[in-house]
């Protein structure tokens, strides 16, 4: 059954120019798993907010589930976009905002926070994603699940060749690491994922998913922390 309130929220975000730049399937998958895993924690966390298109939807869902919601971004302008988008939903009371990176939040976060789902969608460079993966496993209360956007994203431009979410995950957990594909699959004519290089050099690798989701208890932790 369609959630008509969510549909109205998405329409308003689009009208305001604050819509999510992820596919609708990616958004639906995230909200589905956040709901499915709700009994395993009390908080949803978003790392990287852009203009708040997903932030507003997470805030709506968190309020519906009786959970907290935390938005993390190291760009003050984007964080204010997210704040405005969330407050427009009326869910600002259960949402908090952290200016900084995921690592700085993890160091000072409330000990009562038990993350149900963390979305990692900030800096997609290999080293940044690897650091975010280590942070997931270093948190005092380990998240139940984590989702990563742009698993399939690639660039032809040399200065962005190290944008490799997939490689950071594979190096952390192994070539065949256990995961759930979320969002679209890159293919010819895909509505969101373009497999041919665009003017800025970005494209999505054919056959790869837009994002992936991992259940942390199913993986023993990134290799860099196993020694």
pLDDT given for residue 1 in this prediction: 64
- Cα-Cα-Cα-Cα dihedral sign, residues 92, 121, 24, 20: positive
Whole-number percent of the chain with pLDDT over 90: 78
| pLDDT at res. 100 | 96
pLDDT of 92 strictly over 80: no
What is residue 11's predicted lDDT score, i.e. its pLDDT?
82
Measure the CA–CA gap between 80 and 86, rounded to whole angstroms.
Answer: 10
What tokens were used for 165?
Answer: 């979410």
Nearest Cα to 10, choosing from 80, 65, 61?
Answer: 61
- Domains of the chain by start residue, with CATH: 4-225 (3.40.50.150)
For 39-52, the pLDDT digits (tens) are 999 999 999 998 88
- Specify which residues 153 forms β-bridges with: 204
Chain-centre distance for alpha carbon 2: 23
pLDDT band (50, 70, 90) for residue 223? confident
Distance of CA 28 to the CA centre of its chain: 13
pLDDT single digits (tens) 152-174: 999 999 999 999 999 999 999 99
Q: What is the pLDDT of residue 177?
A: 96
Q: Residue 224: pLDDT above 70?
A: no
What value does the mean pLDDT of the chain take?
Answer: 92
Q: The pTM is what?
A: 0.93
- Position 225 pLDDT exceeds 60: no
State the average pLDDT over residues 117-142: 96
DSSP codes of every residue in 55-87: HHHHHHHHHHHT-EEEEEES-HHHHHHHHHHHH
């Amino acid at each position: 059954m369609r959630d008509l309130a969510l549909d109205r929220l998405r329409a308003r975000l689009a009208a305001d120019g604050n819509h999510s730049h992820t596919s609708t399937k990616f958004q639906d998958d995230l909200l589905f798993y956040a709901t499915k895993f709700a009994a395993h924690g009390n908080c949803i966390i978003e790392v990287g907010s852009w203009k708040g298109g997903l932030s507003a939807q997470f805030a709506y869902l968190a309020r519906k589930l009786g959970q907290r919601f935390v938005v993390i971004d190291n760009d003050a302008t984007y964080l204010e976009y997210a704040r405005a988008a969330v407050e427009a939903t009326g869910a600002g009371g259960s949402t908090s905002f952290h200016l900084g990176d995921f690592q700085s939040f993890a160091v000072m976060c409330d000990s009562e926070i038990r993350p149900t789902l963390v979305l990692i969608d900030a800096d997609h460079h290999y080293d940044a994603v690897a650091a975010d993966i280590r942070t997931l496993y270093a948190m005092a209360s380990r998240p139940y699940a984590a989702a990563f956007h742009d698993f399939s994203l690639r660039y032809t431009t040399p200065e962005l060749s190290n944008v490799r979410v997939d490689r950071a995950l594979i190096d952390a957990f192994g070539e065949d690491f256990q995961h759930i594909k979320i969002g679209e699959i890159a293919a010819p004519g895909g509505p969101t994922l373009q497999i041919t290089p665009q003017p800025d050099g970005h494209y999505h690798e054919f056959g790869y998913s837009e994002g992936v989701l991992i259940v942390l208890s199913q993986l023993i932790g990134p290799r860099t922390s196993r020694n």
